[in-house]
Structure 1
Amino acid sequence: MNHRKLGKSGLLVSELCLGTMLFGGSTEEEEAIRMVHRFLDAGGNFIDTADVYTEGVSEQIVGKAIQGRRSEVVLATKAGIAVGPHPNDRGSTRKHLMDGVEASLRRLNTDYIDLFQLHVWDHETPLEETLRTLDDLVKAGKVRYVGCCNFLAWQLMKSLACSDAKDYVRFVSIQQQYSLVSREMDREHMSLCQEEQVGIIPWGPLGGGLLTGKYSSLEKPDAGRFSLGLSGEFDYQNKFTPKNFEIVQAVNEVARQTEKTPSQVALNWLLGKEGIVSPIIGANSFAQFEQNMGAAGWSLTPEQWSYLDDVSRLPSEYPARMQERFRRTW
């Protein structure tokens, strides 16, 4: 498996990141540990978890799985979403982040975290308090790099500017939803991240399963997450749109041409996208995991990649449209 630099750092991470949100839930411990070992044996080194995943059980399983191989792993976790009923059990305050790091270290059975990420933006805590805390955690050796997740573009830029002004540690990455059926990052995040050298780690790279070949019509499924009436990113109304099914059909067509699965095609498109570092692959089963691993080691043709890029592209919008029109050519 190939490796790529993570943002404006020298840290090398595998081109696929193993997501562990289901560890201890629909993925039982024995199968999860088997996935981790197979991932490492195949050259993967980037593993992502969070304190809220299966109420901390995911971190515990990851900690067990990497024992004896810790030096091989770039280990990422997160804090910020509520982990308990008390008022300070959430957010990006100095108290919660420091408590959260210590709790994650215990569950992971390690003495350092390679990439510590803010799970969400905190509207209540002063940004300077948060960034100073992250800087202190790096200086203390408990954390080596820091990143963020699910930020608006202005929130990311404000954070980078504050870090530069105060000489605090800087975000090297951002973890955001990004896929052929969710390209909202193209509006502002993508160009910002390329300008500021922030590595993009896409979550939901298969559109919650929409790009796996399981769905062929706009009709609401009888089973699976889209049948549950979930709100938010994986709401049926949000994902089952005529535009998205045009994209699904294109992915299926390219899958037939390449003799790959739709999942592998959708992931491989991401690997060819400028600015993308390492899409997060997760799986309910070892068979799904093995299929997703097959996204690496080959490439779409330029024509196939452009076909998928064109069919999934966002409509032309102001002010990007006007800037493109009057862009100076040198």
Structure 2
Amino acid sequence: MQYIHLGQSGLKVSRLCLGTMNMGSKQWKPWIFDEAQSEPLIRHALEQGINFIDLADFYSSGAGEEVVGRVISRIANRDELVLTTKVGYPIGGGLNNQGHSRKHIMDSIDASLRRLGTDYVDIYMLHYFDVNTPVEETWAAMDAIVRSGKARYVGVSTMYTWQLAKILWCCERNGFVKPINMQLQLNCAYREEEREMIPFCRDQGLGVSVFSPLARGLLSCDFNSVRNKTDFFTQEMYADGASLEVAQSVSRVAALRGVMPAQVAQSWVLHHPGVDCMLVGADSIAQIDTAVAALETELSIDERYELERNYTPCDVINDYTAGKRIAREPRPAQGIFIDELNTRKIA
């Protein structure tokens, strides 16, 4: 396993982070794993040297934190792990059960700690940018949580670059603790964060952790999986022609290498110069091993071109652009993949 300091902090994390959106209760989504199914995955991740685990109160409406918390208490030393959880999306009832008001943040950190069975989380993150709450109110609450010891650090996820800039400006102006990490979506089929967010994070010293390296399962190239057939977000974000062409390119590169498509797609993410850590949402031990192998998988110039040639600009994926994505067209093949494509057509 490879380890890095996250951003400009002293916090040392594995470059692979175990994602837990698929752990909790099947009542939430049909592809969720229960506690008995989740434990072997968590155990194997820890055995492979992963010390970084990502959660959110939203996952399985809190049941995800409960499941992971109980498993960790049985099989791991909590203080050796870096646990992060997120706040913002609706959980429970009532008008104030979502967003980033002081009330919801303060209530949510206590609820997450109870469910996880721990006194603190290592990173407490905003799940998105709440445009309906003053940033000063939100960040005063986040600052108070760190000062109280309930979180060691704070982080952010899924927002426009100007929104992150506004948070950093607020921190500078008020002396609040700054976020150490930006969690964003990046993969061969979605690269819009390369334009502003990743360079801005590099300039400002934030770590960059990436979720959905397989485009919510599309780049695993298992088009008949339960996840690909039932996850609404896969259809919302990755149903366009360009995304499907990218998936085909991943499949071609993987076939010539003799490896699984997921290993190729994850290698592209892990060797991206703007990426520090990659989340792994695994449904099997083999999928964890594939991500570990991707750390050492170097792609050639021709392979990278084949993976990237179909990409064209699109709307940023966030809470404000749902249903507004641009139709995209791929570019022609190049190099060794021209012959490979022609061979397939003849066959």
TM-score range, shorter chain: 0.7 to 0.9
CA distance 1:306–1:291, shift in 2 (3 Å): closer
Q: Distance between the aligned counterparts of 1:314 and 1:72, measured in 2?
A: 42
1:171 aligns with 2:179: yes
What is the aligned partner in structure 2 of residue 130 from structure 1? 138
State the shift of 1:315 in Å.
Answer: 5.2
Q: Distance between the aligned counterparts of 2:152 and 2:312, measured in 1?
A: 36
CA distance 1:304–1:9, shift in 2 (3 Å): farther
Could you state the TM-score of these two structures normalised by the residue count of structure 1? 0.86
What is the aligned partner in structure 1 of residue 280 from structure 2? 281
Could you state the TM-score of these two structures normalised by the residue count of structure 2? 0.82
What RMSD over aligned residues (CA atoms) do the two structures have, in Å?
2.1
Question: Which stretch of the first structure deviates more once superposed, 85-94 or 60-69?
Answer: 60-69
Q: Give the counterpart of 2:304 among 293, 303, 306.
A: 306
1:62 aligns with 2:60: no
SS in structure 2 of the partner of residue 145 of structure 1: strand
Q: Distance between the aligned counterparts of 2:9 and 2:3, measured in 1?
A: 13
CA distance 1:21–1:301, shift in 2 (3 Å): closer
What is the aligned partner in structure 2 of residue 52 from structure 1? 58
What is the aligned partner in structure 2 of residue 253 from structure 1? 252
CA contact (8 A) 2:7 2:207 kept: yes
Q: Distance between the aligned counterparts of 1:117 and 1:199, measured in 2?
A: 13
CA distance 1:309–1:188, shift in 2 (3 Å): farther
SS in structure 2 of the partner of residue 148 of structure 1: strand
CA contact (8 A) 1:31 1:286 kept: no
SS in structure 1 of the partner of residue 234 of structure 2: coil
State the shift of 1:205 in Å.
Answer: 1.0
Q: Distance between the aligned counterparts of 1:252 and 1:227, measured in 2?
A: 19
State the shift of 1:84 in Å.
Answer: 1.7
Q: Distance between the aligned counterparts of 1:302 and 1:167, measured in 2?
A: 46
CA distance 1:256–1:226, shift in 2 (3 Å): closer
Aligned partner of 2:149: which letter?
Answer: G
**What is the CA deviation profile of residues 231-280 of structure 1, one whole-angstrom value per residue up to 9, with x for unaligned ones?**
xx4226x4233322332232222213333211011111111111212111
SS in structure 2 of the partner of residue 235 of structure 1: helix
Question: Which stretch of the first structure deviates more once superposed, 206-215 or 72-81?
Answer: 206-215
State the shift of 1:212 in Å.
Answer: 0.6
Unaligned 5+ segments in structure 1 are: 216-220, 317-330
Q: Distance between the aligned counterparts of 1:229 and 1:272, measured in 2?
A: 27
CA contact (8 A) 1:246 1:311 kept: no
What is the aligned partner in structure 2 of residue 2 from structure 1? 2
Question: Which stretch of the first structure deviates more once superposed, 23-32 or 116-125?
Answer: 23-32
Aligned partner of 2:273: which letter?
Answer: E
CA contact (8 A) 2:35 2:71 kept: no
State the shift of 1:28 in Å.
Answer: 2.1
CA contact (8 A) 1:66 1:73 kept: no
The number of equivalent residue pairs is 306
Q: Distance between the aligned counterparts of 2:263 and 2:269, measured in 1?
A: 10
1:180 aligns with 2:188: yes
CA distance 1:229–1:199, shift in 2 (3 Å): closer
